[in-house]
Amino acid sequence: LRFMERDMAGEFSAMISAKTSQVDRKIFSDEEIFREEQRRIFAKAWIFVGHESQIPNAGDYFLSRMGIDPVILVRDKSGSIGVFHNSCRHRGMRVCRYDAGNTRLFTCSYHGWSFGIDGKLVGVPGMKEGYCNKLDKSEWGLIPVAKIANYKGAIWATWDADAVSLEEYLGDMRYMLDLALDSHDGTEGGSEVSIGVQKWTIPSNWKLSAENFIGDLYHNISHRSVDMVGIGPEGTSQRRDEGFINNATLVSVGFHERGHGGINVYLPPEYVDARPYPGEIGEWFRAADKARKDRLGENACILGGVGTVFPNMSFRANQPRQIIVWNPVSATETEVWSWYLFDAKSPDSVKAFMREYALRYCGPAGMTERDDMENWQGATEGSVGGVVESFPYNYAYNLADDEQPFEALPNLPYAKNAVIGATEGNARGFYRQWSIWMDATNWDEIRREQMKIKGRI
């Protein structure tokens, strides 16, 4: 992995003040910083690229992204999954131009080089006339990622051979991620992608969205209008805030040594049983909740929550479960990709209910997610001008939480850093991690800095 060395040592950590919890506006608007993020974060981190249920058969492929790099996720004849840069080795043209499908070959439409589903170069027009049969095809295959990992159906990849294993990268965050990936009855994985992948563009910096999902319990005023009008996403007349919000305990859980975090939502048993879903759907939810309690214990987090895996993968563990990737396009533009995960074994009526719920709640037309997108757009616009450069943002909400010794909660034995209620601690952890990655030039340096976050590794 070649790395563009620049004399910027310490420059990025200077933009994040751990002491005063201030963050420089430029990190949300500066195009040079954006380019450095591609090299220093997205070329080294584990990135979520898709779900195995999207490519069940040999030759199935799905076009994805790792930062701004386009990649092909493809299953080969042996059943293995490969991830390759979607660019021809001859002159860079995309070798695959469809979002998803099945193929035996990827043929470049520029000069006609063709590549197998294992990435190998297999066909070169004019091999004899132009290359005197001397072109070594084995040297000109598609560019593969360095490592691939399948965690409960979620496929991840990294360009850096020195990256730690995905399991180590996730750390205890995987227990929160499990709530999004496992089916409700405890089948590991056991989920399938439904609806397809919803994609849309928002005029905002990718970090603002990742930060929101890492645990912004402070922004509920944003969704006040949805809460007040009584058209909850369930399709009932129940207000959003009169359901689980009023009855639940919301816990912010941070894994600051790695930059991950999220919110767990706990419900008392009586509310779980009182969910106002009709007939077969209500029965399925109650049975699924019971199965999860039987598996994880009476105090288990039944409803789930939301979270962010550093840098740009977020998830919703509530039903319908969702994976969201904040694909960076530029400093001020993000392409959002959203996968909806349903239990593969759930009946069609439940899947239909989930689908309608998802479209009412989330996405570009969802009642709640639109509120957030407007916030992120406004925050990005507020970060652009030259006049505001010397006025950093404030991340000090419940700053005292960071100084307290964190006791693991009985329900959250994995959580060393858990706070009941709102805090900006997870956001502070996210930007601390961002500065570590931006100032480091390799994985050894990242690990060394992560180790300094006391007691977290």
Nearer to ligand FES, 88 or 446 (CB): 88
| Residue closer to ligand FES (CB basis): 61 or 113 | 113
Tokens standing for residue 91:
């002159």
Of the pair 106, 206, the CB lying nearest ligand FES is at 106
Q: How far is residue 119's CA from residue 144's CA, in Å, rounded to a whole number? A: 8
Q: Is 241 exposed, middle or buried (0-12, 13-18, 19+ CB in 10 A)?
A: middle
- Taking the complex as a whole, how short is the minimal distance between the CB of residue 144 and ligand FES, in angstroms? 17
- Nearer Cβ to ligand FES, position 8 or 135? 135
Minimum distance between the CB of residue 89 and ligand FES, rounded to whole angstroms?
Answer: 8
Structure tokens at 355: 């689908």
Which element (helix H / strand E) includes 283? helix 279-296
Which parts of this chain interact with ligand FES (CB under 6 A)? 88, 90-91, 93, 108, 110-113
92 vs 276, beta carbon nearer ligand FES? 92
Contact 157, 71 (CB under 8 A): yes
Please provide the DSSP assignment of 312-327 as one string.
TEEEE-SSSEEEEEEE
Q: How many helices (H) and strands (E) does the chain have?
A: 13, 21
Residue 93 CB, nearest approach to ligand FES (Å)? 4
176 neighbors 314 (Cβ within 8 angstroms) = no
Closest residue by Cα to residue 25 from 279, 380, 354, 454: 380
Q: Which two tokens stand for residue 388?
A: 């505001």
The SS3 assignment for 373 reads helix
| Nearer residue to ligand FES within complex by CB, 132 or 400 | 132
Structural contact between residues 289 and 270, judged by C-beta atoms closer than 8 angstroms:
no
Nearer to ligand FES, 93 or 135 (CB): 93
13, 65, 176, 202 from 26: Cα distances, Å: 13, 25, 31, 18
Q: How far is the CB of 160 from ligand FES (least distance, A)?
A: 26
CB 27 within 8 A of CB 204: no
Name the minimum Å distance from CB 403 to ligand FES: 56
CB of 4 to ligand FES, least distance (A): 25
State which H helix or E strand residue 433 sits in.
helix 425-439
Rounded to the nearest 10°, the torsion over CA 305, 43, 154, 312 is: 20
**In this structure, are residues 103 and 57 in contact, taking their beta carbons and an 8 Å threshold?**
no
Min separation Cβ 399 and ligand FES, Å: 53
Residue 238, Ramachandran bin (φ over 0: left; ψ between -120 and 50: alpha; else beta): beta
Whichever of 109 and 404 has its CB closer to ligand FES, that residue is 109
Q: Judged by CB, which is closer to ligand FES: 111, or 219?
A: 111
Query: Smallest gap, in angstroms, from Cβ of residue 116 to ligand FES?
Result: 15
User: What is d(CA 186, CA 182) in angstroms, rounded to the nearest whole number?
Assistant: 6
The distance of closest approach from Cβ of residue 106 to ligand FES in the complex, given in angstroms and rounded to an integer, is: 10
Q: How far is the CB of 109 from ligand FES (least distance, A)?
A: 8
C-beta closer to ligand FES: residue 98 or 110: 110
